[in-house]
Structure 1
Amino acid sequence: MPGLEGLMHGFELAFQPQNLVFALIGTIVGTLVGVLPGIGPALTIALLLPLTYSVDPSAAFIMFAGIYYGAMYGGSTTAILLKTPGESGSVITAIDGNRMARMGRGATALATAAIGSFVAGTIATMLVAFFAPWMVDIAVQLGPQDYLALMVVAFLTVSALVGSSPLRGLISMAVGLAISLVGIDFQSGQQRLTFGLLPLLDGIDTVVLIVALFAIGELFYVVAHQSSLIFKVMPFAGRWMNREDWRRSWKPWLRGTAIGFPLGVIPAGGSEIPTFLSYTLERKLSRRPQEFGHGAIEGVAGPEAANNANAAGTMVPLLTLGIPTSATAAVILVAFQQYGIQTGPQLLETNGPLVWSLIASLVVANAILLLLNLPLVGLWVKLLKIPKPYMFAGIATFAVLGALAAGGSTFDVGLLLVLGVLGYIMRRFGYPVSPLIVGAILGPIAEVQFRRALDIAGGDAGTLISTPFTWAIYGTLALVFILTFVLRHRPSKRDVLVEVGALPTTLTPTIEVPEPAADKAREREAAGTQSELR
């Protein structure tokens, strides 16, 4: 069985001492940066990508796997203790996770999130090993019009399903496609959207674009809209999981995995949908539905497992088809391109050891996170005591250094600031950033496939929908939009969104969950009792 044999070979490479060191470094750095509010896995990898140019590709991607899951772990930590998710996948976790922290059960919430992520990540990685060779067998039979259809699905689903408004998502995607046109046309040699600036002839560096939109745009937004200079961290003291917590969590872990992985394999618009579906399912199946929104452990276990399984699922289309379905997958695709490695059906043949070591390192990174970071959560939380001005000044410094390392030109620093203003405007008016990133990265690839299909057919546009595969893809796309329309207009989702708050972009602001009057009264009563005891 090629998948199982390849995975075993990947574990042999991942368990080499030097690669374990890189995995450890990745998890530590990923958690260190990911625990900072406003920084998710995509930005973390983008910031650190220039630092790995001199490292062997296998070691670099093993470290990226650690950064990926480490940043996700840090994001769930801030969601639970700060009500500040680092990305949209942690939004649902903030509802019951932060409520558990307020009740003195922060340690339990962090434990069920970490263990659920490990369980889901391990199962999903095994599924990646079995699905990847099967998808390669299909991918080698696809023509350019079939690849174009897949990219159209990625464009439309990511833009329409991410954020609160499909129209804003489509506008964001259009901006990304326009950015992908900057530079010299590879076929005609004509300049496009360069405005006479010679540094733009090579196009806009994707690393500069990602860092500008995420880091600088977020920095501008925080400076403009937040007045507090410190973070208010909820306590995480208390016991880890007891027997009752395990009993209530293991089924949501498995159900979350079953929901998150397939929605990561198909372009379903990121981790928002699977985490919400998991939360909704757990609330319907629970014997205590009244606890949801007030500290239900199932409301943390299920969505966290779905989020992690979804992240592993995105590796399947990325590695086998070269199509990213999330912002983080898009950054990893850029990393492949920086090393001159072309993702797609031939990747397993040309760089098989690299691919399998990357897949195996996802499991290794999850295990390291569970064994190392869970007991050290107090250490990471101390980072949040750093005043915001110092913290975001450090982020801005890393962003500028990353832009300089990526292009080696001061023009890139100016471009970083200009694109950062664009990121602030999108953040301010609720335009999601992920569609722009996916559009900017996939735009040139889609253009190549589009032209190739028309050249083969002699200019006949009918060839774009001439194969059974394209019929199936576009039919599935229509079905996805119909189901999404139905889900968006369900009352239960509106109720959750009212409780969580509108989150238009991947990097989300602090979510203020309204606190019931009864909870406030209990807190005042507890405070009075403690005063009397003193």
Structure 2
Amino acid sequence: MDQIIHLFGGFSTIFTGYYLMMCLAGVLMGQVIGALPGIGPSAAIALLLPLTLGADPTGALIMFAGLYAGSQYGGTLTAVLLNVPGEASSVMTAVDGHQLALQGRAGPALGTAAIASFIAGTVGTVGLMFLAPPLASIALNFGPPEYFGLILVGLTTLAAVGGSLSKGIAAGLLGLIIALIGIDGQSGVTRFTFGQLWLLDGIEFTVIAVAVFGVGEVLATCYQTKEHTAIEVKNAYPTRDDLRQSAAPIARGTGLGFLIGVLPAAGATLASFMAYILEKKVAKQPERFGHGAIEGVAGPEAANNSAVSGALVPMFALGIPGSGTTALMLGALIMFGLRPGPDMFTTNGDLIWGVIASMFVANVLLLILNIPLAGMFARLLTIRYSWIYPPILGICLLGAFANSNSLQDCWLLVAFGVLGWMMKRYEWPQAPLVLGLVLGPIFETTMRQSMSMSRGDPLIFLQRPISLTLILIALAAIALPIISYLRRNRPTVSG
């Protein structure tokens, strides 16, 4: 198969010294970042964006992919040892994982999670390898109306799964408005510049990403985080009974997580929740869940790691992110001058296959690191967070200034950092804002191209079957949460 040949080409890329070091750096950073409550992969990638300006795109994407995978492993540490999930996707792992730790079985819980993550991550990457190229081939036949519908699906689904539908839509619209700032590329008219010359080129994606995810997350975490004492880990090797009980949950979690990850905006968090619910439903003794069931660790961990690979499928094949983290990776591709979408497999195939090969390597590295060195990583949790966050804020300011050597970007960083903190505190989703900013220019361009094709007739979006289907999916993504809310709050009629 062509995929196998391309994969060997990807391995020839990753096994050069530089790219292998970037992969190792990514997984180590992801491991540490995932173990810090509140500072997830989205914030980490946002912080690294300005530091990778001018770098080799393949190396940067390999590092980001390794960081994304490593953060899922790292989040398990705090979930099991502290009952404080380092990642949202590790929430369900904490339910049974921490109970196992209190029973003196923290090591087997972490070992089972590492093995489940390795199997699921590897199988998920195989799925990415075989699903993304044919999906991209189909999408090559899309015209501007179809791309308009596809972007609309990405924006609406990410807004719909962010908790509050209205807040998600508002955040996405704010991102689209920010994307309009500057000079209109077609008419030459200035938009939302308010007479400020430094706004003529628009607001850089990296500044907003670093502010909202970097500064905002740090401020929110400083406001909430307390210091903890971790449980000691002595032996991270699971028993035969643990492995036997975990085999089926790992298989189910892997399949479920990958399928959910492929859906735009679903991501690893939803996958882990669904996997835990599934395991509890099929268990012969569901009452064990919540009291230290090893299946309650294996299933969610498999799901959230296979969802990482699944989330890369729509990003590489369609240019639509499958999660908030891949939205930032999408922005990184644009920052490097690449246009995400189905033609990337032909125009930048070496990059994509290098990243796919690096995912296999990253999973092997993480397995090697996590089982023997679980105790060492656990000791990282005793570091005071007050020592970590000031340097992170300094890196944010340095990155914003280095982006354009302009103090205005530093002021923008502060302003949007406060906005990011307020969004976090008042439970406004941040990912739709960034996605609106990333996809805004493409959204506007495809809409204008479609209207030019139809000579100003908006019915072109409804006359083409694929674009009509995509628009209906986008409307359904908005309508379903509203219908669900109305059903839950329907007044009961007493007889």
Is the shorter-chain TM-score for this pair beyond 0.5, marking a shared fold? yes
Give the whole-Å Cα distance in 1 for the aligned partners of 2:377 and 2:402. Answer: 28
Corresponding residue for residue 493 of structure 2: none
Matches for 1:94-105 after TM superposition, within 5 Å = 94-105=94-105
Corresponding residue for residue 525 of structure 1: none
Corresponding residue for residue 375 of structure 2: 378
Corresponding residue for residue 471 of structure 1: 468
Corresponding residue for residue 423 of structure 1: 420
Match of 2:434 among 431, 434, 437: 437
Deviation at 1:479, TM superposition (A): 5.8
Give, as a single letter, the amino acid of the residue that structure 2 aligns with 1:69.
Answer: A
Deviation at 1:364, TM superposition (A): 0.6
Corresponding residue for residue 196 of structure 1: 195
Does the residue aligned with 1:360 lie in a helix, a strand or coil?
helix
Deviation at 1:199, TM superposition (A): 2.4
Q: Does 1:88 align with 2:88?
A: yes
Give, as a single letter, the amino acid of the residue that structure 2 aligns with 1:329.
Answer: T
Greater shift, 176-185 or 133-142, is seen at: 176-185
Cα–Cα, structure 1 residues 140 and 223, in superposed 2: closer, same or farther, change >3 Å? closer
Deviation at 1:452, TM superposition (A): 0.9
Give the whole-Å Cα distance in 2 for the aligned partners of 1:239 and 1:188. Answer: 62
Q: Does 1:234 align with 2:239?
A: no
Cα–Cα, structure 1 residues 350 and 394, in superposed 2: closer, same or farther, change >3 Å? same
Aligned-residue sequence identity (percent) comes to: 43
Does the residue aligned with 1:461 lie in a helix, a strand or coil?
coil
Give the whole-Å Cα distance in 2 for the aligned partners of 1:40 and 1:182. Answer: 29
Give the whole-Å Cα distance in 2 for the aligned partners of 1:267 and 1:476. Answer: 11
Deviation at 1:355, TM superposition (A): 0.9
Q: Does 1:21 align with 2:26?
A: no
Give the whole-Å Cα distance in 1 for the aligned partners of 2:215 and 2:38. Answer: 11
Q: Does 1:297 align with 2:290?
A: no
Give the whole-Å Cα distance in 1 for the aligned partners of 2:181 and 2:219. Answer: 25
Corresponding residue for residue 218 of structure 1: 217
Corresponding residue for residue 409 of structure 2: 412
Deviation at 1:483, TM superposition (A): 6.9
Cα–Cα, structure 1 residues 279 and 339, in superposed 2: closer, same or farther, change >3 Å? same
Greater shift, 151-160 or 384-393, is seen at: 384-393
Cα–Cα, structure 1 residues 297 and 368, in superposed 2: closer, same or farther, change >3 Å? same
Corresponding residue for residue 58 of structure 1: 58
Does the residue aligned with 2:232 lie in a helix, a strand or coil?
coil
Give the whole-Å Cα distance in 1 for the aligned partners of 2:223 and 2:122. Answer: 41
Give the whole-Å Cα distance in 2 for the aligned partners of 1:239 and 1:455. Answer: 62
Corresponding residue for residue 177 of structure 2: 178
Give, as a single letter, the amino acid of the residue that structure 1 aligns with 2:375.
Answer: G
Give the whole-Å Cα distance in 1 for the aligned partners of 2:486 and 2:307. Answer: 23
Q: Does 1:346 align with 2:343?
A: yes
Cα–Cα, structure 1 residues 112 and 390, in superposed 2: closer, same or farther, change >3 Å? same
Match of 1:263 among 260, 264, 275: 260
Large movers: runs of 4+ above 6 Å = 481-491
Give the whole-Å Cα distance in 2 for the aligned partners of 1:202 and 1:334. Answer: 17
Give, as a single letter, the amino acid of the residue that structure 1 aligns with 2:130.
Answer: F
Does the residue aligned with 1:271 lie in a helix, a strand or coil?
helix
Does the residue aligned with 2:246 lie in a helix, a strand or coil?
helix
Give, as a single letter, the amino acid of the residue that structure 2 aligns with 1:320.
Answer: A
Give the whole-Å Cα distance in 1 for the aligned partners of 2:193 and 2:82. Answer: 43
1:115-153 deviations in Å (ceiling 9; x for gaps): 211111111111111112211221111111111111111
Residues 22, 63 of structure 1: 8 Å contact kept: yes
Greater shift, 234-243 or 388-397, is seen at: 234-243
Give the whole-Å Cα distance in 1 for the aligned partners of 2:481 and 2:372. Answer: 40
Deviation at 1:397, TM superposition (A): 1.7
Give the whole-Å Cα distance in 1 for the aligned partners of 2:271 and 2:486. Answer: 16
Deviation at 1:446, TM superposition (A): 0.8
Corresponding residue for residue 157 of structure 2: 157
TM-score, normalised via structure 2 length: 0.92
Corresponding residue for residue 497 of structure 1: none
Give, as a single letter, the amino acid of the residue that structure 2 aligns with 1:199.
Answer: W
Deviation at 1:459, TM superposition (A): 0.8
Give, as a single letter, the amino acid of the residue that structure 2 aligns with 1:243.
Answer: R
Does the residue aligned with 1:202 lie in a helix, a strand or coil?
coil
Corresponding residue for residue 3 of structure 2: 3
Deviation at 1:154, TM superposition (A): 0.9
Q: CA RMSD in A?
A: 2.3
Q: Does 1:285 align with 2:282?
A: yes
Residues 30, 66 of structure 1: 8 Å contact kept: yes
Matches for 1:451-470 after TM superposition, within 5 Å = 451-470=448-467
Residues 109, 236 of structure 2: 8 Å contact kept: no
In the alignment of these two chains, the number of paired residues is 488
Corresponding residue for residue 127 of structure 1: 127
Cα–Cα, structure 1 residues 351 and 470, in superposed 2: closer, same or farther, change >3 Å? same
Give the whole-Å Cα distance in 2 for the aligned partners of 1:19 and 1:372. Answer: 19
Deviation at 1:234, TM superposition (A): 3.3
Cα–Cα, structure 1 residues 72 and 482, in superposed 2: closer, same or farther, change >3 Å? same
Give the whole-Å Cα distance in 2 for the aligned partners of 1:98 and 1:202. Answer: 50
Corresponding residue for residue 113 of structure 1: 113
Deviation at 1:246, TM superposition (A): 0.5
Cα–Cα, structure 1 residues 245 and 490, in superposed 2: closer, same or farther, change >3 Å? farther
Structure 1 unaligned blocks of 5 or more: 492-534
Residues 71, 87 of structure 2: 8 Å contact kept: no
Give the whole-Å Cα distance in 2 for the aligned partners of 1:132 and 1:327. Answer: 19
Corresponding residue for residue 136 of structure 1: 136
Deviation at 1:67, TM superposition (A): 1.8
Cα–Cα, structure 1 residues 213 and 9, in superposed 2: closer, same or farther, change >3 Å? same
Greater shift, 403-412 or 450-459, is seen at: 403-412
Does the residue aligned with 2:231 lie in a helix, a strand or coil?
coil
1:139-180 deviations in Å (ceiling 9; x for gaps): 1111111111111111111111123x2222222222222222
Give the whole-Å Cα distance in 2 for the aligned partners of 1:105 and 1:486. Answer: 44
Give the whole-Å Cα distance in 1 for the aligned partners of 2:456 and 2:86. Answer: 46
Cα–Cα, structure 1 residues 222 and 268, in superposed 2: closer, same or farther, change >3 Å? closer
Does the residue aligned with 1:431 lie in a helix, a strand or coil?
coil
1:57-83 deviations in Å (ceiling 9; x for gaps): 322322222222122221222222233
Greater shift, 481-490 or 208-217, is seen at: 481-490
Give, as a single letter, the amino acid of the residue that structure 1 aligns with 2:350.
Answer: P
Give the whole-Å Cα distance in 2 for the aligned partners of 1:408 and 1:31. Answer: 32
Cα–Cα, structure 1 residues 104 and 38, in superposed 2: closer, same or farther, change >3 Å? same
TM-score, normalised via structure 1 length: 0.86
Deviation at 1:187, TM superposition (A): 1.7
Residues 114, 370 of structure 2: 8 Å contact kept: no
Corresponding residue for residue 491 of structure 2: none
Greater shift, 216-225 or 109-118, is seen at: 216-225
Residues 34, 44 of structure 1: 8 Å contact kept: no
Cα–Cα, structure 1 residues 76 and 401, in superposed 2: closer, same or farther, change >3 Å? farther
Does the residue aligned with 2:468 lie in a helix, a strand or coil?
helix
Corresponding residue for residue 530 of structure 1: none
Greater shift, 449-458 or 174-183, is seen at: 174-183
